[in-house]
Amino acid sequence: MKLLIQKRQSQSALFNLMTPLLCLVLALIVVALFLVMAGVNPFAAYRDVGIEALGSAYGLSETLVQATPLIFTGLGVMLAFRMQLWNIGAEGQLYMGALGATWVALFSGITSTWLMIPMMMIMAMILGGIWAAIAGALKARYRVNEVIITLLLNYIAAGIVKYLVYGGWRDPKGYGFPQTADFPPNAILSTYFDTRLHSGFWISLVLAAILWVFTEKTVWGYELRVIGNNPRAAQYAGMNIQSKTIFVMFLSGALAALAGFAQVSGVVTRLQDNISPGYGFTAVIVAWLARRSAAGVVIVSFFFGIVYVGGDALKITYKLPESFINVFQGMLLFFLLASEYFVNHRITLVREPKTPVAV
């Protein structure tokens, strides 16, 4: 008997769908073990998570509130992935977006109600876009690895926001809390039925639909696929890879920045330094699980919304540390990476035919 390991020649659609689901189940099992170790009944805990996140209209709305920034950042990361660009900086771009939106809301002097929200969005996209395009430009021009640059820019963006909310932008009437003043009403997205669900959610869905059309149906999506698959062939076909690299990174950052806009305008209604519990990092997992599809990003984001809301519930009911969410995400990523191997290889057990040992 021996193991036969072969490269898989093709993967069926069903198989591609099943792998992430299987990873999910495995991650749930491992986290269940941790829960047992922490003295918690995993079945009860998972049931509570389900009830908390999905069991009531309010719970569901909270799940969607958490899913919204994940959709924006997930779409951004996914878009860059399509071109084999690894944007690990969605978190920083989110913060830059929040900063841009805040500037428009508080300091631009715009008062017009119908101009306010669009201008906040545009400013957020410009700042976040530039933030990511820096990495794109360095990659295109000097072949600097975009992973490192986007990662480092995260810390700089967070630092800038901190600097502003502790310094020049701090609300003088805010009892010294590190946060800006409250946004004027016309800079706040409308919410529904006494929940925190805000219209940013619809915006994220519309964007996902637009992005789906763009990546699947247009010439532009085709170019992304060719460049992502074989840059040399793209060049050979006359596509300008350098300018596309910069442009795609810009768009990627602009999308992620809208998460920042949605957070400050829809949820927090002001800028402070902890508007994201790491949505931009989770977005990398989201994009990966979504297998680079815009529709997938929406579905996976919803799922992670449950994880966030449910995680909060675990924290409160079972006094579990916040890091349980991180453990879960880590496990999920681990299984996903490991599963790549099984997606690409076929492993079978074969019986070696009996052969007398030749000497």
Question: Which residue ranges make up the site for ligand ATP (CB under 6 A)?
Answer: 9-10
For residues 9 and 112, which CB has a smaller minimum distance to ligand ATP in the complex?
Answer: 9
Contact 92, 158 (CB under 8 A): yes
Cβ of residue 355: shortest distance to ligand ATP, in angstroms? Answer: 28
Q: Site residues (CB under 8 A) for another protein?
A: 2-7, 9-10, 217-220, 222-223, 225-226, 229-230, 232-238, 240, 348, 350, 352-353, 355-356, 358
**Integer Cα distance of 343 and 347 in angstroms:** 10
Q: How far is the CB of 230 from ligand ATP (least distance, A)?
A: 18
11 or 242: CB nearest ligand ATP: 11
Q: Who's near 331: CB < 8 A, 6+ residues apart?
A: 26, 27, 30, 31
Alpha-carbon distance of 216 to 230, in angstroms, equals 18
Q: Which is nearer to ligand ATP, 9 or 111 (CB)?
A: 9
Backbone angles phi, psi at 357, to 5 degrees: -65, 120
Q: Pick the closer one to ligand ATP by CB: 11 or 218.
A: 11
219: partner contacted, choices ligand ATP, another protein, none (Cβ within 5-8 A by kind): another protein
Contact partner, 56, from another protein, ligand ATP, none, Cβ < 5-8 Å per class = none
Q: How far is the CB of 348 from another protein (least distance, A)?
A: 8
Name residue 346's beta-bridge partners: 6
- Beta carbon nearer to another protein, 47 or 345: 345
Pick 109 or 238: Cβ nearer another protein = 238
Partner that binds at residue 352, options ligand ATP, another protein, none, CB closer than 5 to 8 Å by kind: another protein
Q: How far is the CB of 357 from ligand ATP (least distance, A)?
A: 34
Q: How far is CA 96 from CA 87, 156, 158, 256, in A?
A: 15, 10, 8, 9
What's the closest the beta carbon of residue 40 comes to ligand ATP, in angstroms? 48
Residue 16 corresponds to which amino acid?
A: N
Q: Considering the complex, what minimum distance in angstroms separates the CB of residue 5 from another protein?
A: 6
Pairing of strands 345-350, 2-7: antiparallel
Cβ proximity of 288 and 296 under 8 Å: no
Nearest 5°: the CA angle 60, 61, 65 is 120
φ/ψ of residue 253, rounded to 5: -65, -40
Lookup: tokens for 127: 């700042």
Residue closest to ligand ATP, measured at CB = 9
Would you say 270 and 179 are in contact if contact means Cβ atoms under 8 Å apart?
Answer: yes
